[in-house]
Amino acid sequence: MNALPDAVRVLVTRPAHQAENLSRLLVEQGAEAIRLPSLVITALENTDAIRAKLATVDKFQWLVFISANAVNFAVQANDGKINPRSAAVAAIGLATATVLQQAQIRVDLTPLPPYNSEALLAMPAMQQVKGQHILLVRGEGGRDELANTLQQRGALTEYLDVYKRCLPTQDCSSVQALLAAGQLHVVTATSGEALQNLLMMIDEQYHQQLLAVPLVVISDRLKQIASEKGFKRIAVAKAPADAAIVDEVKTIIGEIG
């Protein structure tokens, strides 16, 4: 597919520490990446409790990491290393698996696309889990569907929260000026919380312009959330990877000329 036309401006709402790759790919395609992090990811302060839980990982049959952030903050809290000897390790997606491998933690299970909780639950290894102890490493306040379904299948689940998501404090005036001038062409978002925060960060007088901008998301579930929030045109990337997001941006720009 051809590069994007000049002066295409794409809003990148990923947290600041995760925005570099997507922004770079957009710039390589000729777009202007407008960074406005709508989530701040920070470590939880209960490091001693996290370490204590990680010291017991081998009482679990499965150690499931819900995101790359879950890996990074768990490893950070545990002095740079996690070493499950008997517990099997599952990653929710390819990015999470990559970070696990970089941390020298073996990966025993990664689901098929679209790399989410539902895909993990569909894997054969997650079908017969009655009596198994499963530790879910995640961010504070994450979705409960994975744990609920595993419990319905007879598993004993526990959470280990290792980070939290916060609303950023950031000047949005430049983005609001682009909205007012009709010069923001695509918005990208990778979580429902990021969308909610974006609407909180942008002054209400600009909401109609924002909701009219084409939006690229990474799942059908997120598309439904965006629709409920009032976004008018929503496209779902074929995968949660940055390259797939860029491909969808290019498709949208091609369609609107």
Which SS3 state, helix, strand or coil, does residue 25 take?
helix
Separation between Cα atoms, residue 179 and residue 209, nearest integer Å: 6
- Rounded Cα distance, 96 and 115, in Å: 10
Q: 188 to each of 30, 38, 174, 210, 213, how far by Cα in Å?
A: 16, 11, 17, 12, 10
Distance CA(97)–CA(106), nearest Å, equals 9
How much is the pLDDT for 113? 87
Determine the CATH number of domain 42-165: 3.40.50.10090
Contacts of 163 (CB under 8 A, 6+ apart): 41, 42, 43, 44, 69, 70, 73, 139, 140
Q: Quick check: 96 and 69 in contact, CB under 8 A?
A: no
Closest CA to 142 of 92, 210, 100, 98: 92
Query: Which ranges of the chain would DSSP assign to H, the alpha helix?
Result: 20-28, 47-54, 68-77, 94-102, 117-121, 145-152, 173-180, 192-201, 207-212, 220-229, 242-256
The reply to whether CATH 3.90.120.10 applies to domain 9-39+170-256 is no
**pLDDT of the residue at 114:** 84
Amino acid identity, residue 17?
Answer: H
Q: What is the pLDDT of residue 6?
A: 62
Between CA 18 and CA 11 the distance in angstroms is 14
63-80 core/surface letters (b: 16 or more CB in 10 A; e: else): bbbbbbbbbbbbbebbee
Give the pLDDT of residue 115: 87
Identify the pLDDT of residue 57.
95
Neighbours of 145 (CB within 10 A): 13
- Would you say 71 and 54 are in contact if contact means Cβ atoms under 8 Å apart? no
Q: Where are the domains of the chain?
A: 9-39+170-256, 42-165
**Averaged in consecutive runs of 10 residues, what is the pLDDT profile of the chain (257 residues)?**
75 95 95 97 96 96 97 96 95 94 97 91 97 97 93 98 95 97 97 96 98 96 97 95 95 82
Cα separation, 192 vs 224, whole angstroms? 10
pLDDT at 255: 81
- The label of the residue with tokens 């290393």 reads 81
Q: Report DSSP state, residue 111.
A: P
In this structure, what token pair is assigned to residue 217?
């998301």
